[in-house]
Amino acid sequence: MVKILIENSRLIWQQSFVVIELLWEVFGLYYIFLYFVTDIGLSYIIEIRVKELERIKRQIEIFKEELMRVGIFTDTYFPQVSGVATSVRVLKEELERLGHTVIIFTTTDPNATMPEWNIVRLGSIPLFSFKERRIAVQGFIEAYKVSQEYELDIIHTQTEFSLGLLGKILGAKLGIPTIHTYHTMYEKYLHYIANGKILRPSHVAYISKNFCNQTRGVIAPSQMTKDKLLSYGVTQEVRVIPTGVEIPEMKPQVAEELREKLGYTKEDKVLLSLSRLSKEKNIAAILDAIPTILEKDASVKCCIVGGGPEKEELEKQVARLGITPYVQFAGEVEHHQVSQYYQMADLYVNASESESQGLTYLEALVNKIPVIAKKNDYLQQFITKPELGMLFEKDEDIASSVLAYLECIKQSSSQVQELQNQLLEEISSVTFAKRVEAFYEDAIDTYQHDKENTKTWLEKMNFFKIYDDDKETEE
């Protein structure tokens, strides 16, 4: 009996070990299976991630390759104050935000004493009869070397003289396209050269036509400018791209402090003139209108911001008109302070007839100050409602336009805000840079295509083929 029990116990233990062994094998196989599945899964996932990273890396490399190196050639740049200088700076900063490299080639300036990033200054002298502007006279070889080192993809000229001519020459030498921006209506500036007795509008037309037709394309800040260039005989593509402006931060407290600093009360209605003090800006017409305005509204004050050759004459005019207590010459202000002056004023007034676009108009609008200006096709695109300002036909209409605006019934601030916001995207510096960027890309593509498909006169004569045939014969 005991023997039978022992034997049964032994069998039970054997069977148990078999079961345990079987379970072990099953679980072992499960874990092995799990290991392989996990390993394969992880390997697959890792492979996918590696491929994804490689794809992203390739995209980044392609993106880097697509970024452009742009050389901008301009006779005027900060610290010189002008619409051209502002336009160039805005374009430079926005293109850099898009990832492009921008090198400014400009003239030396006695006030430019601080180190500057990616700005090449060429030795210059003041332009005769226009001392505030300069013309480059040396440093051309240096400009060529810098252009080579940076391996520029495109050159963008901003003037038809000095640096503009150099830019065109370097573009041809480097085998890259040149784009030009036509900023200035020169017919309005002929009085600076021998009182307008040497150069005529026909000379302007000839010079402008020849310069523009030797580029890959022209940027016109307004339709008005484009129409003028077409009338000159420009046959290259002229693309209307308004210069954009940065959208400033509204700082009511800062504006109020500036207003108090300038001596204005809350009851005062401040008319702001912000421009170069020169004949073509027609500031004298604004001053002539002040006495008539004061007869109807004695709370009106005029703040004139800027410097220039006409300052002394304008001061004499103020004294002659007997409006000295109502007119203040604030002088030139730093670029970063401009918004404060717009925001502290009640109206921006401009009687200029020489503007190809007029950045100050746009600066006023984005700073949410209404504009009173001389009527033209460009401004009519933006000043569409009384809440945004009024346009006058003749200088004699300045006073009535200002008074009409001051007396008009304004809509609620929310409605005015909506109207102003509609303009922001169209005239923003971001939109401006993207449009210029697209023009660059088109110019580079067409230039390369023409370069590859256009034979030189030597190639057309089969010069090189004849030479190669001779070499083969000799061999």
Pairing of strands 238-240, 69-73: unpaired
Mean pLDDT, rounded, of the chain: 82
Residue 127 has pLDDT above 80, yes or no: no
- In 381-462, which ranges are continuous DSSP H helix? 398-407, 413-427, 429-453, 457-460
| Interval 196-219: pLDDT, tens | 555 677 888 999 999 999 999 999
- Angle subtended at Cα 100 by Cα 452 and Cα 77, rounded to the nearest 5 degrees: 105
* Average pLDDT of span 388-399: 93
Distance CA 305, CA 24 (A): 92
| Interval 168-190: pLDDT, tens | 999 999 999 999 999 987 776 66
Residues near 147 by beta carbon (within 8 Å), at least 6 away in sequence: 71, 103, 155, 170, 174
Question: Which H/E stretch holds residue 93?
Answer: helix 83-97
Residue, of 430 and 190, whose pLDDT is higher: 430
Q: What is the pLDDT of residue 377?
A: 74
Q: What is the pLDDT of residue 222?
A: 86
Quick check: 149 and 171 in contact, CB under 8 A?
no
Q: What is the pLDDT of residue 372?
A: 95
* Average pLDDT of span 45-68: 55
| Interval 226-269: pLDDT, tens | 999 999 999 999 999 988 888 889 999 999 999 999 999 999 99
pLDDT tier at 194 (50, 70, 90 boundaries)? very low
Residue, of 472 and 19, whose pLDDT is higher: 19
Q: What is the pLDDT of residue 50?
A: 53
Q: What is the pLDDT of residue 417?
A: 66
**Is 252-413 in CATH node 3.40.50.2000?**
yes
Architecture of the 67-240 domain = 3-Layer(aba) Sandwich (3.40)
Residue 468 has pLDDT above 50, yes or no: no
How does DSSP classify residue 279? G
Task: Determine which of 370-374, 418-422, 427-431 has the lowest per-residue pLDDT on average.
Answer: 418-422
Annotated domain spans of the chain: 1-66, 67-240, 252-413
Give burial (CB, 10 Å; 0-12/13-18/19+) of 83: buried
Dihedral over Cα of 189, 192, 196, 201: its sign = negative
pTM more than 0.85: no
Distance CA 389, CA 401 (A): 9
Which structure tokens are listed for 388? 């945004």
pLDDT tier at 466 (50, 70, 90 boundaries)? very low
What single-letter amino acid sits at 268?
Answer: D
Q: What is the pLDDT of residue 197?
A: 56
Upper half-sphere CA count for residue 4 (Cβ side, 13 Å): 1
252-413 and 67-240 share a CATH fold: yes
Distance CA 103, CA 121 (A): 11
| Interval 25-54: pLDDT, tens | 555 555 455 455 555 554 555 555 555 556
* Average pLDDT of span 46-72: 61
